[in-house]
Amino acid sequence: MNVWIVAVGEPLPIEQSNERLLRAGIFSKMLAARGHQVTWWTSTFLHMKKRHLFDSDRVVEVEPGVRMRLLHGLAYDSNVSLRRLIDHWIIGRKFAGQAASEPRPDLILCSFPTIELSLEAVKYGRRESVPVVLDVRDLWPDIFVALAPRGLRSLVRLVLAPYFSMTRRAFEGASTVVAINEGFVDWGVKRAGRMRTSRDRAFPMGYPDVEPSEGAITIAGKFWNDLGVAGDGVFKAIFVGNIGRQFEFEPIVEVARRMACEPVQFIICGTGNFSETLLRLSKELPNILLPGWVGSDEIWTLMRMSQVGLAPYHAEESFTHSLPNKALEYFSAGLPMISSLPGALQTLLETAQCGVTYANRDADALEAALRRLLFDPDLRQRLGDNARALFKSQFSAAHVYSEMIDHLETLLAAKSAPT
């Protein structure tokens, strides 16, 4: 197959040698390993780091079978901003203009959102008779209505009416809906105005289970040692991800303050809009370490030096219905998880017995969960073993995305079969 992947906002394999790849990055490599040709359409703007990788459109050959078409748009500092909306419009228009210069693909897999790119991919697919699979990652624009104050939701929905219209048109024109969970598949099919079929399937986020080289682990270990990460005998609670509005870091800071004289260290990795505020809140706390953005080798090593992974999510609808990639990352290392997210993740932590959920904004409950794992190593070991077993059986990227490639190959074979 000649496959186009259309996805923005993910880490790119050309940023640095050990960049932590997510769904599109991992999937493109696995497609190429199967012998397929991949063109990944994305943006030059690094959403997580809030900066451009290039100052103009680029075409980059990543590896045999994988090339990237990077479209230059508008930089933005805030995830909720007019500049971001303008950027999405620019990238959508650029895709529409440049797609015609590329060899026609056999299939397009497009992440939703963004709304604009999804609609343009569907328009191209309809015009060129190319099947388009929309992969639902988030419930745009519904989520923006849900986040608005109750009394303003009707007004917000009215303002966003063009985006609701574009979303409906995108799903109506898509050949198939896949998503990171069953609820998101149903949501997409409902927007398409049709019944769900066997073509519409859920594939959870997958996480790679690849151990770095011995040399890379040694270098990463020295990196953490030089930064002051404590060795054995100190309970290390870690967070890896975007330091943004979707997380509640204040309870972590409060608990760190309470436990400042105890053998507990909090390592919070990442960058984002809340980074400066978090730095200010924690500047007098020696048991909080903020190393900034780190690579995949450092993440792999840190998780295996630590005792628990933190997931301090706000209880937003787009999170409560899904399993965040952060959970799979922690599970891959056999790390018990302490989460503030109700819904699907809480149910999984309870049924698989691999973590603890505390109430949003409740520092007392977070402290109690931490102390429970701190003083009960047998419980910690049991939860960690369960987490690792769950990952291997359900969330390994090799397993999840192999099934997803099989599904796409089946869809294309069915389209090509004589009638």
Which single residue is written with the structure tokens 């509640």? 248
Residue 51: the pLDDT is: 92
As a whole-number percent, the residues of the chain with pLDDT over 90 amount to 84
List the structure tokens of 276: 């400066």
Q: Is the pLDDT of residue 321 over 80?
A: no
Cα gap 300→312, rounded to integer Å: 20
Between 302 and 317, where is the model more confident? 302
Angle (deg, nearest 10), helices 115-128 and 161-173: 40
pLDDT, tens digit, 9 for 90 and up, residues 27-73 = 999 999 999 999 999 999 999 889 999 999 999 999 999 999 999 99
Q: Say if CB 336 and CB 380 are below 8 A apart.
A: yes
Q: Mean of the pLDDT values across residues 234-256?
A: 94
Nearest to 380 by CA among 344, 411, 326, 335: 335
Q: What is the pLDDT of residues 71-89, one digit of tens each?
A: 999 999 888 889 999 999 9
Q: Is the model more confident about 300 or about 244?
A: 300
Q: What is the pLDDT of residue 121?
A: 98
359-375 burial string, b = 16+ CB within 10 Å, else e? ebeebebbbebbeebbe
CA 233 vs CA 7, 79, 186, 316: distances in Å: 43, 39, 47, 36
Q: How confident is the model at residue 416 (pLDDT cuts 50, 70, 90)?
A: low
Domains and CATH numbers, the chain: 2-206+396-416 (3.40.50.2000), 214-395 (3.40.50.2000)
What's the mean pLDDT when you consider all of the chain?
94
pLDDT at 417 over 70: no
Mean pLDDT of 286-311: 95
The conformation of residue 263, written as its DSSP 8-state character, comes to S
Q: What is the mean pLDDT of residues 194-199?
A: 96
Note the pLDDT of residue 232: 85
Say what the pLDDT of residue 49 is: 85
- 96 exposure class (CB count in 10 Å sphere: 0-12, 13-18, 19+): middle
Q: pLDDT of 114-151, one tens digit each?
A: 999 999 999 999 999 999 999 999 999 998 888 788 89
pLDDT at 318: 66
pTM over 0.85, yes/no: yes
Contacts 24+ apart (CB under 8 A), 79-82: 79/47, 79/244, 79/245, 79/273, 80/245
Q: Cα 136 vs. chain centroid, distance in angstroms?
A: 12
> What would the pLDDT profile of 379-411 be if each residue is shown by its tens digit?
999 999 999 999 999 999 999 999 999 999 999
- Report the percentage of the chain scoring pLDDT > 70: 98
Mean pLDDT for 211-238 is 94
Tell me the pLDDT band of 419, cut-offs 50, 70 and 90.
very low
194 to each of 10, 123, 186, 191, how far by Cα in Å?
30, 19, 10, 8
